[in-house]
Amino acid sequence: MQRNISIQHPNRSFLETTRIDNWWVGPLLTSIGLLAFIFYSTWAAFQNEHYQWGPYLSPFYAPLLEFEWWPLSPAFLILWAPAGFRFTCYYYRKAYYRSFFLTPSACAVGARPQKYRGERFLLVFQNLHRYFLYIALIFCVILSYDAIVSFSFENGLGVGVGSIIMTLNAVFLTAFTLGCNSLRHLVGGNVDCYSCASFGHQRYQAWKFVSLFNVHHNFWAWISLFWVGFTDLYIRLVSMNIITDYRIL
């Protein structure tokens, strides 16, 4: 009945676990997804061409800031903002702390041994997330404007597949931004007593509203990430004449 296996408690070495499920699948998929996006978006930003076609403008280049003094692709003038928003986003932080930093890679799996300082010292800038939020809110407006413009073709109003893709892009990004934890704090999360604070009830409603998106923040994070890349790719391929934009109306 007995089998003598000595095990040492409590410390476990790096990646050691007694979990028998495929705990590594999650962090692996996350790394693949994030790396794929980083590579593609960096490549696309360097291209400095094929980001426009008809009424369509790639979100990597929106708003289009072309200056003579800027030698590189205009994408770099704006990409830092959404990149910063996502990098400091509470959801993405979880994602890359798990899949890249390996602190820890999964629950009850040995974390990477290191002098652990959490989000203090070097990572204290994560607290500036709210400033990226302010910018991201502006981007939501800009991308929505671009989405509206995408229905205005040279020969008048119309609907192309690209218009729909760009509209969805604006929707997904807005849904992602509306679920932001900093926004949730700002609109009402910082109130302790809604029934005593001024505009308390309204702030409670706003907090509730943001919470609706916040619950699925990771879902919106991924769908908007994928879609923004896909939107760029679509416009790029159309502009390169590899595919043709289909006019629905």
Residue 108 near another protein by CB under 8 A: yes
Identify which range of 59-67, 136-144, 146-154, 187-195 contacts another protein by CB under 8 A.
187-195
User: Which part of the chain contacts another protein (CB under 8 A), choosing from 47-55, 77-85, 122-130, 154-162?
Assistant: 122-130
Q: How far is the CB of 217 from another protein (least distance, A)?
A: 8
Cα four-point dihedral sign 140, 130, 79, 31:
negative
Sequence-ordered list of residues with C-beta below 8 angstroms from that of 162, at least 6 positions apart, any chain: 53, 54, 56, 150, 234, 235, 238, 245
**Per CB under 8 A, 195 contacts another protein:** yes
Using CB under 8 A, pick the residue from 40, 145, 153, 194 that binds another protein.
194
98 is a site residue for another protein (CB under 8 A): yes
119 binds another protein (CB under 8 A): yes
Task: Taking the CA atoms of 62, 68, 73 and 76 in sequence, report the sign of the dihedral they define.
Answer: negative
Q: Among 10, 69, 155, 198, which residue interacts with another protein (rule: CB under 8 A)? A: 10
Q: What is the Cα gyration radius of the chain?
A: 22
Q: What are the φ and ψ backbone dihedral angles of 160, each rounded to 5 degrees? A: -105, 165
Give the binding range for another protein (CB under 8 A) out of 66-74, 117-125, 170-178, 229-237: 117-125
Q: DSSP 3-state assignment of 173?
A: helix
**Using CB under 8 A, which of the segments 77-85, 169-177, 196-204, 233-241 binds another protein?**
196-204
- Judged by CB under 8 A, the chain residues 12 through 41 that form the site for another protein are 12, 17-21
> Of 33, 34, 59, nearest to 233 (Cα)?
59
122 binds another protein (CB under 8 A): no
Minimum separation from the CB atom of position 66 to another protein (A) = 31
Interacting residue with another protein among 77, 81, 111, 137 (CB under 8 A): 111
CA angle 38, 43, 49 (to 5 degrees): 140
Q: Is 7 left (phi over 0), alpha (psi -120 to 50) or beta?
A: beta
**Does residue number 138 form part of the binding site for another protein (CB under 8 A)?**
no
Q: Measuring CA to CA, which residue among 81, 98, 77, 79 is closest to residue 30?
A: 98
Q: Which residues bind another protein (CB under 8 A)?
A: 1-12, 17-21, 90, 93-94, 97-98, 101, 103-104, 107-108, 110-111, 113, 116-120, 123-124, 127-130, 181-182, 184-185, 189-190, 192-196, 201, 204, 214-215, 217
